[in-house]
Structure 1
Amino acid sequence: MYHIVFQEASLLPRERLLTEGPDKLSNQELLSILLRTGNKNKTVYEIAQELLGSLKSLKELASMSFQELQEVPGIGKVKAIELLAAIELGKRIQTSQVIETEQIMSSQKLAKMMQQKIGHEKQEHLLALYLNTQNQIIHQQVIFIGTVNRSIAEPREILHYAIKHMATSLILVHNHPSGIIHPSKNDDGVTQQMIEACNCLGIVFLDHLIVSTDDYYSYREETDLLV
């Protein structure tokens, strides 16, 4: 159970945020600001405490669905929508900083970012990252969202965006909702197809990453397919 400590000093979280900064507030205080009000049965602090108390760790909040949020007493449709919007905005801010400015120099660093972005998803997501000659991401495209039973992509669909954005290299990333990061035969097949297709067009296929919430697999690091 996620441990909660109620602090009497957090009675005015908005004022504390203004005077001390958001980094000084507890998780309960930050949630209280987002939830804004309580109801006739519970204060906003009690609702925030109940939500946090239902989690094993704070990162589980990022994967809660609209329905799951509404199961917490005191959180209705409007509050659930507002929380989902705040969580998604936080994810986008975090990933956009890397996409806009940072060179991709290691599989590990990119994998950590992708774990936060899609590692928690309950459906399989396939993303393609398109890079320029400086290894900067110039475009990110969701190629596929669905079940693991379907082939996750066709090379022509992925390479369409590479040509459109004049990318010189690309990276594939997808999640395994099961949490098992070892590649399947289908993953191996897609990787081999992409290597061959990219070679034909003079585009460098840098890596294929498989991520879960806590771990990742890199074809570049683990195999000799990409050299």
Structure 2
Amino acid sequence: MSLKDLPVTERPREKLLHLGPDSLTDAELLAIFLRTGSAGRPVMTLARELISDFGSLRALTGASAERFCQTPGLGTAKFAQLQAALAMAQRVMESPVTNGEPLTSPAATRSYLKSKLVTRHHEVFACLFLDTRHRVIRYEELFNGTIDGAAVYPREVVRRALETNAAAVILAHNHPSGVAEPSSADVNLTERLRSALGLIDVRVLDHMIVGHNEVTSMAETGHL
């Protein structure tokens, strides 16, 4: 069944305009992006098949150009459109940080870190180095690891804090498993880093763990 055969209230574009984007399924959002189907496949059918083939909308948006363009119904033009849409979304989420605004909102920090780390397939440890007004001096990904973890060296974090003249830091890393819960190793690492950075009068404001659907603040959960 093509979109024109659906009741107006069930057509993805009209549904979005009347009820907002939160009312749409992943397949409906993807159908709006795709606009048209392929030979013999209406756009909603194609959207559902793509999400099933890739496993999730997240996996589809994180696919390589080669993998994306190998899929019937997709190609380089659609890949370029998708990358442009993702880049615009990331810049919107990054704007409070990149514009030099103080990080007074946990929501802004979460959005920024999620935009940086949520699509990574291996563990990445990063730092936001902040000045005395909690404005971002620099975001750096300091350590990269495997799907199971990343080795973090406090001496290197201290060195970069000194070189950036940071007054405070927000630590962050992703959990490729998708579960944004701090492990005992995360708690121990945070304490080691807080002790090391405390020796040079740099405060650890938070350690955020990025999962697939949420970002957990160790400060808010009482682990810091």
State the one-letter code of the partner of 2:92.
Q
Report if the CA contact (8 A) 1:51-1:72 is conserved. Answer: no
State the one-letter code of the partner of 1:96.
E
Check if 1:55 corresponds to 2:51. Answer: yes
Displacement of 1:155: 1.5
SS of residue in 2 equivalent to 1:128? strand
Distance 2:45 2:165 in 1: 49
Report if the CA contact (8 A) 1:126-1:175 is conserved. Answer: yes
Check if 1:93 corresponds to 2:68. Answer: no
Q: Work out the percentage of aligned pairs sharing the same amino acid.
A: 24
Structure 1 residues 224 and 144: alpha-carbon distance in aligned structure 2, compared to 1, 3 A threshold: closer
Check if 1:136 corresponds to 2:132. Answer: no
> Which residue number corresponds to residue 82 of structure 1?
80
Over the aligned positions, Cα root-mean-square deviation in angstroms equals 3.4
Name which of structure 1's ranges 198-207 and 112-121 shifts more when overlaid on structure 2: 112-121
Displacement of 1:179: 1.5
> Which residue number corresponds to residue 187 of structure 2?
188
SS of residue in 1 equivalent to 2:96? helix
> Which residue number corresponds to residue 123 of structure 2?
124
> Which residue number corresponds to residue 6 of structure 1?
3
Name the TM-score, length of structure 2 as normaliser.
Answer: 0.70
> Which residue number corresponds to residue 22 of structure 1?
none
SS of residue in 2 equivalent to 1:117? helix
Question: Structure 2: 5+ residue runs without aligned partners?
Answer: 6-28
Structure 1 residues 49 and 178: alpha-carbon distance in aligned structure 2, compared to 1, 3 A threshold: same
Structure 1 residues 193 and 63: alpha-carbon distance in aligned structure 2, compared to 1, 3 A threshold: same
Displacement of 1:216: 2.3
Report if the CA contact (8 A) 1:131-1:167 is conserved. Answer: yes
Distance 2:85 2:123 in 1: 20
SS of residue in 1 equivalent to 2:156? helix
> Which residue number corresponds to residue 147 of structure 1?
146
Higher relative contact order (CA 8 A, sep 6+): 1
Report if the CA contact (8 A) 2:143-2:150 is conserved. Answer: no
Check if 1:159 corresponds to 2:155. Answer: no
CA-to-aligned-CA distance 1:99-123 (integer Å, 9 cap, x gap): 1233212434422332233223222
Structure 1 residues 151 and 175: alpha-carbon distance in aligned structure 2, compared to 1, 3 A threshold: closer
Distance 2:42 2:164 in 1: 49
Report if the CA contact (8 A) 2:207-2:219 is conserved. Answer: yes
Displacement of 1:129: 0.6
SS of residue in 2 equivalent to 1:121? coil
Structure 1 residues 147 and 91: alpha-carbon distance in aligned structure 2, compared to 1, 3 A threshold: farther
Report if the CA contact (8 A) 2:34-2:78 is conserved. Answer: no
Structure 1 residues 162 and 81: alpha-carbon distance in aligned structure 2, compared to 1, 3 A threshold: farther
Question: Structure 1: 5+ residue runs without aligned partners?
Answer: 9-25
Displacement of 1:199: 0.4
Displacement of 1:29: 5.6
Distance 1:179 1:139 in 2: 26
State the one-letter code of the partner of 2:51.
L
Name the TM-score, length of structure 1 as normaliser.
Answer: 0.70
Structure 1 residues 192 and 121: alpha-carbon distance in aligned structure 2, compared to 1, 3 A threshold: same
Displacement of 1:139: 0.7
Report if the CA contact (8 A) 1:69-1:75 is conserved. Answer: yes
State the one-letter code of the partner of 2:3.
F
Distance 2:119 2:168 in 1: 27
